[in-house]
A = this chain, B = another copy of it.
Amino acid sequence: MPTYKAPLRDMRFVMDEVFDFATGYETHGLTDATPDMVSAILEESAKFAGEVLAPLNRSGDEEGCHIDDGVVTTPKGFKEAYQQYVDNGWGSMTGPVEYGGQGLPASLGLVVAEMTASANYAWSMYPGLSQGCSAAIRAHGSPEQKKLYLNKLVPGTWTGSMCLTEPHCGTDLGLTKTRAVPREDGTYEITGTKIFISCGEHDFAENIVHLVLAKLPDAPAGTKGISLFIVPKFLPDANGEVGERNGVKCGSLEHKMGIKASATCVLNFDGATGFLIGEINKGLNCMFTMMNHARLGTGMQGLCHGEASYQTAIAYAKDRLQMRALSGPAAPDKPADPIIVHPDVRRMLLTMKGFNEGNRALAYYTAQLLDKAHYSKDESVRANAEDQLAFLTPICKAFMTETGLEVTNHGMQIFGGHGYIREWGQEQQMRDCRISLLYEGTNGIQALDLLGRKVLMSQGKMQRAFTKEVHQFCQANEGHATLGEYVTKLNKLNAEWGELTQKIAMRSMQNREEVGAAAMDFLMYSGYVTLAFFWLKMAVAAQATLDAGTSEEDFYKAKLATQEFYFKRLLPRARAHVEALEAGADSLMQMTAEQF
């Protein structure tokens, strides 16, 4: 049976030795996040994830959620685990102090979220959605709304949901049909059907705060006519306690490929009372506050399933005896060798390591940017962090999930036929991971966001905010004694990255389809180069420690070997993406719809 043990040593390597989170906390005046406090939080979180959440992962998948006349029951043990999570203050960790939060750094929240989500992704969605909901209310709510809702959402007493999608519109929110009719008392009457609402109904908490996109009767067409509303399941009374039941009901649960323990709801709003949040017709801006949060979280999903899959796979690869090593028996006393002796099994394991640890470095770097953007006292640091975040968010969302799915696929393959059997949990990791390429904006949408909105619309500014970091790193490490060849390689790719942008920009002036035609390959190229940067950063740190002498030689040598593997066996794929995108739009657009 699979278990999850938080990879604290790997996590601390990135936090402490690659990015130096501690100095960041000092600089930003995050004085509560002392080294001792950080260690205690990581240890306790690892325990909670491994001992409370992980044991519920497979039973949650087998049992799923159930609905009876609009009442949703989550799998056995789920709501008790949530109560424990709330009681122990995990939910409020990074929340603002004025609403009952602990004000700890966003970056630490992300590291802790990695553990809960790796242990049990479906469970982790319930608190995850609340975080996005809180962020939107904090950014756009009135003082009264903040007081009322954040005091409940931040500690986790209530949970949240995001209600965007409708049967006929997912990507294209301009087609929203849900109506919001103003009432005389300043509230709105919300009517419509929302689908695919994660954690839209459940038994975790006494109330659920739905954030709902809807259109006023006289709203302009398209996305310019969308407003955002708070629609609580139970209307709060004068004291902010749960009052009257609101007119929103779960009509059914979706039957899905995976994340079966996460309730995916059809929500019917039938004249429900809604409260406008932010300005009329500016709902999409508010929604993006939640979406950006959710997109980073979804990117993490790729890492989390990948890590869980790797842990089960590496244990199996060391244990399962099958065939002899090509170079002669490695375990002559046993009937066969453990399969980790076989080059192709190692190819899969190293691919898993290469993506997982690279993705973790990318995620933690992004987490550090969140800290900078939230807490830095230097405006130019904040602005630069915002630019880099804007640029890296679609890469995190799409590249980490594409590669995460590949990792879980290898994690099954290493098991042979046993990987296909539910008992081992490897197929669940792949099924659960698969959604991450779809929700919070499909990966194709992320690619358009990256190339169209972020790169081209900012005239390359957001891209340069990041490539400058890469360039500076390459300059600082030029001629590195052992890693010099890789520095040269990265520097070239980094330069090519900018050139590709230029080329696409030129072509798109002739033909707007060129942006869409290049987008996905551009995103994947960006991901491979980004991870090359982080792998090399990790290798430089590892080499320095080895040079200085360490009792953990194996740990650091593994980092160097995985970096080499990444450069030699994964990074070449970047070339295929360049060739593909240089084929241009014609190769995609010449066929008529009828010819398909």
Chain A interface residues toward B at CB < 8 A: 165, 168-172, 174-175, 196, 254-258, 314, 317-318, 321-323, 325-327, 335-336, 338, 340-350, 353, 405, 409, 412-413, 416-423, 427, 430-431, 434-435, 437-439, 442-444, 447-448, 511-513, 515-517, 519-520, 554-555, 557-558, 561-562, 564-565, 568-570, 572-573, 575-576, 579-580, 583, 585, 587-596
Contacts and interface: CB of A to CB of B under 8 A. Distances in A.
A14 to B, nearest CB: 18
Given A421-B256, A427-B257, A444-B345, A513 B568 contact: no
A515 to B, nearest CB: 6
Nearest to A324: B172
B344 A444 contact: yes
B170 A322 contact: yes
A515 B343 CA distance: 9
B420 A343 contact: no
Given A172-B322, A421-B255, A569-B587, A554 B442 contact: no
Interface pairs A-B: 5 shortest CB-CB: A572-B579, A343-B516, A568-B583, A257-B427, A343-B517
Given A421-B255, A443-B413, A589 B438 contact: no
B572 A580 contact: yes
A596 B413 contact: no
16 contacts: A172-B323, A175-B336, A255-B423, A256-B422, A257-B421, A326-B513, A343-B513, A344-B516, A350-B587, A353-B596, A416-B438, A417-B435, A417-B438, A420-B435, A565-B587, A570-B580
A168 B427 contact: no
Contacts of A431: 257, 431
Contacts of A596: 314, 317-318, 340, 349, 353, 558
Nearest to A452: B326
How many copies of this chain does one complex carry? 2
A582 to B, nearest CB: 8
Most buried by B among A427, A587, A590: A587
A520 B347 contact: yes
A587 B520 CA distance: 29
Contact of A416 (B170, B174, B314, B589): B170
B254 A421 contact: yes
A516 B342 contact: yes
A346 B589 contact: yes
A340 B593 contact: yes
Given A256-B422, A417-B438, A520-B347, A568 B587 contact: yes
Contact of A326 (B438, B442, B516): B516
Contact of A417 (B255, B338, B439): B439
A70 B20 CA distance: 60
A595 B321 contact: no
Nearest to A554: B595
A343 to B, nearest CB: 4
